[in-house]
């Protein structure tokens, strides 16, 4: 893969800083993003495309919500829980958000350890991240079943606009799928790290290419993105 060669080009080829440097990189040969590997570039561009998908979902939802002629159910009521006699709005969502954001923290630490080639710590931190992710999905499943029990369906709900349920299931479902894939991805990479694949240059089962610790960071990019998207869903769906 695209491992950087030993003496970086920077020594022989001085690249200017700032905007001029940006222009110089794009005017140069071989790579437009210097020192960005193929895998990372690919993940970034994929995430850009995925942003458009989530953007369209959210815009569609918002346009439905703005256009509705029947009342839109009040999210802080719908997503409230009664805990120990107290009625706490949005509590579950708050915990879910907290869990997911914490998982971003552990992921960042995993990336750091990965680059220090600390096999065990990296794998452990990725497992913790995956655990947080799985917890998030679990809580989401709980939330779904609670709403379903209360009578929310994709085609209608007891409180108002039918688009409430449709958008809710669609958007959180699509996001939850992303988290689930992320968890699977994390487990696979964690296993590889644990086994030392990236130290022994073991080849991938499907691609027959040698993996590198960088894959931890690429997984991290995806994971942070999924978190970030959640923040937007949180803001636009639950807080609006």
Q: Do the strands 80-83 and 86-89 form a parallel or antiparallel pair, or are they unpaired?
A: antiparallel
Q: Give the CA distances from residue 191 to residues 104, 188, 198, 216, in Å, rounded to whole numbers and listed in that order.
A: 19, 5, 11, 11
> Is residue 177 part of the contact set for another protein (CB under 8 A)?
no
Of 88, 91, 95, 170, the one binding another protein (CB under 8 A) is: 170
> Is residue 53 part of the contact set for another protein (CB under 8 A)?
yes
Phi first, then psi, for residue 80 (nearest 5°) are -100, 155
Of 2 and 135, which CB lies nearer to another protein in the complex structure? 2
| Rounded distance between C-alpha atoms, residue 173 and residue 117, angstroms | 36
What track of x and - describes contact with another protein for positions 54 through 93 (by CB under 8 A)? Answer: -xxx--x--xx--xxxx-----------------------
What minimum distance in Å lies between the beta carbon of 184 and another protein? 17
- The residue count for binding another protein (CB under 8 A) is 54
What minimum distance in Å lies between the beta carbon of 125 and another protein? 26
Of 28, 74, 76, 177, the one binding another protein (CB under 8 A) is: 28
Q: Give the CA distances from residue 226 to residues 2, 105, 176, in Å, rounded to whole numbers and listed in that order.
A: 26, 13, 9
> Is residue 188 part of the contact set for another protein (CB under 8 A)?
no
Phi first, then psi, for residue 166 (nearest 5°) are -60, -50
What track of x and - describes contact with another protein for positions 189 through 228 (by CB under 8 A)? Answer: -----------------xxxxx------------------
| Rounded distance between C-alpha atoms, residue 100 and residue 179, angstroms | 10
Of 35 and 120, which CB lies nearer to another protein in the complex structure? 35
**Scanning residues 108 to 147, which ones bind another protein (CB under 8 A)?**
none
Given a contact cutoff of 8 angstroms between Cβ atoms, the answer to whether 221 and 43 are in contact is yes
């Amino acid at each position: 893969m695209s491992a950087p060669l030993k003496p970086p080009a920077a020594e022989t080829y001085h690249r200017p800083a700032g905007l001029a440097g940006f222009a110089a990189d794009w005017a140069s040969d071989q790579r437009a993003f210097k020192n960005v590997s193929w895998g990372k570039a690919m993940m970034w561009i994929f995430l850009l495309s995925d942003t458009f998908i989530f953007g369209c979902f959210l815009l569609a939802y918002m346009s439905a919500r703005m256009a509705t002629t029947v009342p839109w159910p009040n999210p802080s009521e719908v997503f409230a829980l009664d805990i120990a006699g107290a009625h706490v709005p949005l509590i579950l969502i708050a915990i879910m958000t907290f869990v997911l954001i914490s998982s971003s923290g552990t992921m960042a630490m995993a990336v750091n350890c990965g680059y220090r080639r600390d096999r065990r710590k990296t794998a452990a931190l990725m497992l913790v991240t995956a655990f947080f992710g799985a917890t998030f999905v679990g809580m989401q499943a709980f939330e779904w079943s609670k709403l379903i029990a209360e009578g929310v369906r994709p085609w209608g709900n007891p409180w108002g606009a039918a688009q409430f349920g449709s958008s809710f299931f669609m958007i959180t479902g699509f996001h939850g799928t992303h988290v689930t894939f992320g968890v699977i991805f994390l487990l696979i990479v964690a296993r590889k790290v644990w086994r030392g694949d990236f130290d022994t240059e073991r080849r991938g089962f499907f691609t027959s290419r040698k993996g590198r610790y960088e894959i931890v960071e690429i997984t991290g990019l995806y994971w942070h993105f999924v978190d970030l998207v959640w923040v937007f869903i949180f803001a636009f769906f639950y807080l609006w």
